[in-house]
């Protein structure tokens, strides 16, 4: 819980929103990840619906880099 509180106090400000006053396409991602870490999936999806697919894709790419999935792997076929 201490890590989540630290994250909430150290969010990165959005330069696009600062200069234009409008939310950028990524606004809400950090708050969505924090909500997900707290176990509030519904709140996470409301803040930024693409969070879970982005995390799944990021994990897959990391695992593929380490484990070198075969090109016949079904998940790799879906991503390519």
Torsion of CA 47, 49, 52, 58, to 10 degrees: -100
Q: What is the pLDDT of residue 35?
A: 92
Higher pLDDT: 50 or 66? It is 50
Residue range 13-19: mean pLDDT, rounded: 86
- What's the pLDDT band for 49 if we cut at 50, 70, 90? very high
**Phi, psi for residue 53 in degrees, rounded to 5:** -60, -35
pLDDT at 22: 86
Cα 78 from chain centroid (whole Å): 20
pLDDT of 75 reads 61
Q: What percent of the chain has pLDDT over 70?
A: 85
| Distance from C-alpha of 47 to C-alpha of 70, rounded to nearest angstrom | 35
If residue 77 lies in a helix (H) or strand (E), which one and from where to where?
Answer: helix 74-79
Higher model confidence: residue 78 or residue 20? 20
Q: What is the pTM of this model?
A: 0.70
């Amino acid at each position: 819980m201490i890590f989540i509180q630290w994250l909430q106090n150290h969010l990165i400000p959005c330069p696009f929103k600062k200069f234009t006053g409008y939310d950028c396409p990524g606004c809400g991602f950090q708050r969505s990840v924090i909500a997900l870490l707290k176990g509030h999936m519904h709140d996470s999806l409301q803040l930024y619906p693409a969070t879970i697919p982005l995390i799944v894709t990021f994990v897959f790419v990391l695992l593929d880099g380490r484990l070198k999935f075969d090109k016949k792997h079904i998940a790799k076929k879906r991503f390519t």
